[in-house]
């Protein structure tokens, strides 16, 4: 079992027949690639539609008893092109007609959305000569729609023991009553991760249209290098700060069993991509792994002399944010002041109310609100116990005349978070990248 590789292909890797041929070449190149998880066909070019989006549209139209022909025909044409281009012996017209009938006759929203993956699964199984395993028979959710690992493990394991080479469509499964239900958008990543876990795979390959994660956002640093290896924890820090990565829930099933995830590029299979591991022992001290950030944070600073003597001060302050349903991002403090950093989008029009409640509950000397702050996270296990990293970061920022408004570093030393003006955001990311590359 231990050589087994689970492969997941994203929508752009399966967007037309040309892409399917690349997928076959990749599958044929290694016989250990035994289970394949497809997404639905994605975009072929920038303004193109994803099949899943079109299916959601069909559902909307059908619920309003409107004609779905125009939108459904776009979906149909996509699949006909694929099956014709691959010269498959499949009666796609008939399969599509049946699905269309189900959409019109009260197919649920999740059922309709899931058909994108289902159809790609049928096509791939035929094309690769793999067995088709319908996700509804092996991926289970409870009545509340929560993924059920115990039931899934039982049924999926049984099935995988019977099937040497199989296709399992991503994104959906079923409830106990048989009703189809999907994960949230991008959920094929999660299916791939679950199958990897249950199959006890040696590796989970996630094939997409980029050769792995980049150290910095390429729209800011066009020449950014690829991250070769990253730990799950570093990845979490980066994705939390906005770096586009996998579906958030895709990490957990493989993390438990320490299966590495390899992000690969279907259009450049010669690139080794990024490998995500649990523990990385080959870290070079003094290096960083990645830089990510977000704009538009608000800082609410509460000042009160001798606040540390009031044992309930912090609790009262935090409870104001809790009762207003606002997540706190960071809380840097000094002796007589504490700052609460929250995202501007979240605080919206509640600011006046929050200030008032802080005043009532904590009786501060002063509350100062400043906006337009961007946060940048510099992440890397190579920073741990390594001297001179922050020196390098802050020198790079100073040389660009960028003022640092806030600094926080967790005691894990895995990341340094820096608060700067929104308008300095791009320059700061570029300066930090250059300081290390």
- Find the farthest-apart pair of alpha carbons in the chain and give their distance in angstroms, rounded: 79
Q: Is residue 161 classed exposed, middle or buried when 0-12, 13-18 and 19+ CB atoms within 10 A define those classes? A: exposed
CA–CA dist 317, 326 (Å, integer): 12
Residues sharing a CB contact under 8 Å with residue 377, sequence separation 6 or more, in sequence order: 237, 238, 240, 241, 291, 292, 293, 415, 416, 417, 418
- To ligand ASP, the closest distance from the beta carbon of 216 in angstroms equals 25
Cβ proximity to ligand ASP: between 169 and 380 the closer is 169
**Of residues 121, 131, 128, 211, the one with CA closest to residue 173:** 121
- To ligand ASP, the closest distance from the beta carbon of 134 in angstroms equals 16
- To ligand ASP, the closest distance from the beta carbon of 120 in angstroms equals 9
CA–CA dist 394, 366 (Å, integer): 30
Instruction: Tell whether residue 52 is a contact of ligand ASP (CB under 6 A).
Output: yes
- To ligand ASP, the closest distance from the beta carbon of 192 in angstroms equals 9
Cβ proximity to ligand ASP: between 11 and 290 the closer is 11
- To ligand ASP, the closest distance from the beta carbon of 194 in angstroms equals 13
Instruction: Tell whether residue 188 is a contact of ligand ASP (CB under 6 A).
Output: yes
Instruction: Tell whether residue 170 is a contact of ligand ASP (CB under 6 A).
Output: yes
Which listed range, 62-70, 74-82, 186-194, 323-331, lies at the site for ligand ASP (CB under 6 A)?
186-194
**Of residues 369, 376, 390, the one with CA closest to residue 422:** 376
CA–CA dist 266, 149 (Å, integer): 30
CA 231 distance to own-chain centroid: 15
- DSSP strand E in 64-223: where? 131-132, 166-167, 172-174, 180-182, 203-208
- To ligand ASP, the closest distance from the beta carbon of 225 in angstroms equals 27
Site residues (CB under 6 A) for ligand ASP, limited to 71-130: 116
Cβ proximity to ligand ASP: between 185 and 225 the closer is 185
Site residues (CB under 6 A) for ligand ASP, limited to 366-425: none
The three-class DSSP label of residue 108 is: coil
Instruction: Tell whether residue 186 is a contact of ligand ASP (CB under 6 A).
Output: yes
Nearest residue to ligand ASP on Cβ basis: 188
- To ligand ASP, the closest distance from the beta carbon of 384 in angstroms equals 34
Helices (H), 129-184: 149-162
Instruction: Tell whether residue 187 is a contact of ligand ASP (CB under 6 A).
Output: yes
CA–CA dist 181, 114 (Å, integer): 8
356-381: burial string, b at 16+ Cβ within 10 Å, e else: ebbeebbebeebeeeeebbbbbbbbb
Helices (H), 297-379: 313-323, 344-347, 351-362
- To ligand ASP, the closest distance from the beta carbon of 344 in angstroms equals 27
Which residues lie across from 131 on neighbouring strands?
166
Which listed range, 87-95, 185-193, 283-291, 305-313, lies at the site for ligand ASP (CB under 6 A)?
185-193
- To ligand ASP, the closest distance from the beta carbon of 235 in angstroms equals 18
Which listed range, 181-189, 278-286, 293-301, 420-428, lies at the site for ligand ASP (CB under 6 A)?
181-189
Instruction: Tell whether residue 266 is a contact of ligand ASP (CB under 6 A).
Output: no
Which listed range, 25-33, 183-191, 256-264, 345-353, lies at the site for ligand ASP (CB under 6 A)?
183-191
- Contact track, ligand ASP, 7-26, x by CB under 6 A: ----x---------------
Q: How many residues line the site for ligand ASP (CB under 6 A)?
A: 13
**Of residues 171, 151, 152, the one with CA closest to residue 109:** 171
Cβ proximity to ligand ASP: between 114 and 211 the closer is 114
Residues sharing a CB contact under 8 Å with residue 107, sequence separation 6 or more, in sequence order: 59, 62
Among 40, 261, 347, 431, binds ligand ASP (CB under 6 A): 40
Query: Distance of CA 350 to CAs 318, 330, 343, 353, 357, Å?
Result: 15, 18, 12, 5, 11
Structural contact between residues 190 and 249, judged by C-beta atoms closer than 8 angstroms: yes
Instruction: Tell whether residue 171 is a contact of ligand ASP (CB under 6 A).
Output: yes
Which listed range, 20-28, 180-188, 276-284, 362-370, lies at the site for ligand ASP (CB under 6 A)?
180-188
- To ligand ASP, the closest distance from the beta carbon of 188 in angstroms equals 3
Instruction: Tell whether residue 50 is a contact of ligand ASP (CB under 6 A).
Output: yes
Residues near ligand ASP (CB under 6 A): 11, 39-40, 50, 52, 116, 170-171, 185-189
């Amino acid at each position: 079992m231990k050589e087994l590789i689970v492969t997941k292909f994203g929508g752009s890797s399966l967007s037309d027949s040309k892409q399917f041929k690349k997928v076959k070449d990749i599958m044929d190149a290694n016989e250990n690639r035994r289970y394949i998880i497809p997404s639905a066909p994605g975009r072929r070019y920038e303004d193109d539609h994803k099949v899943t989006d079109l299916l959601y549209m069909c559902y909307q139209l059908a619920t309003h008893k409107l004609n779905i022909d125009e939108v459904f025909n776009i979906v149909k044409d996509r699949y006909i092109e694929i099956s014709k281009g691959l010269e498959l012996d499949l009666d796609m017209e008939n399969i599509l007609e049946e699905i269309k009938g189900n959409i019109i006759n009260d197919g649920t929203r999740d059922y309709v959305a899931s058909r994108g993956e289902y159809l790609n699964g049928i096509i791939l199984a035929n094309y690769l000569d793999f067995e088709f395993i319908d996700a509804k028979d092996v991926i289970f959710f409870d009545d509340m729609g929560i993924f059920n690992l115990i039931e899934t493990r039982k049924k999926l394991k049984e099935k995988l023991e019977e099937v040497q080479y199989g296709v399992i469509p991503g994104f959906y499964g079923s409830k106990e009553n048989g009703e189809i239900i999907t994960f949230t958008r991008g959920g094929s990543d999660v299916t791939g991760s679950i199958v990897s876990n249950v199959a006890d795979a040696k590796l989970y390959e996630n094939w997409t249209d980029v050769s792995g994660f980049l150290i910095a956002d390429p729209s800011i640093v066009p020449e950014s290098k690829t991250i070769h290896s990253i730990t799950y924890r570093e990845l979490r820090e980066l994705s939390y700060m906005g770096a586009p990565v996998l579906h958030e829930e895709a990490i957990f099933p493989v993390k438990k069993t320490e299966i590495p995830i390899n992000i690969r590029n279907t259009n450049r299979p010669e690139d080794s991509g990024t490998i995500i591991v649990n523990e990385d022992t080959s870290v070079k001290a003094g290096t960083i792994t990645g830089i990510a950030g977000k704009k538009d944070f608000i800082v609410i600073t509460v000042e009160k002399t001798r606040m540390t003597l009031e044992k309930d001060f912090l609790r009262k302050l935090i409870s104001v944010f809790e009762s207003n349903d606002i997540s706190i991002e960071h809380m840097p403090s000094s002796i007589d002041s504490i700052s609460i950093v929250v995202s501007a989008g979240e605080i919206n029009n509640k600011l006046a109310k929050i200030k008032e409640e802080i005043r009532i509950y904590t009786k501060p000397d002063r509350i100062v609100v400043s906006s337009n702050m961007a946060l940048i996270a510099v992440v890397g296990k190579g920073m741990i116990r390594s001297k001179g990293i922050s020196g390098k970061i802050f020198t790079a920022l100073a040389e660009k005349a960028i003022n640092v408004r806030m600094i926080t570093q967790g005691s894990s030393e895995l990341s340094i978070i820096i608060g700067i003006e929104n308008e300095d955001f791009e320059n700061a990311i570029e300066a930090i990248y250059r300081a290390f590359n």
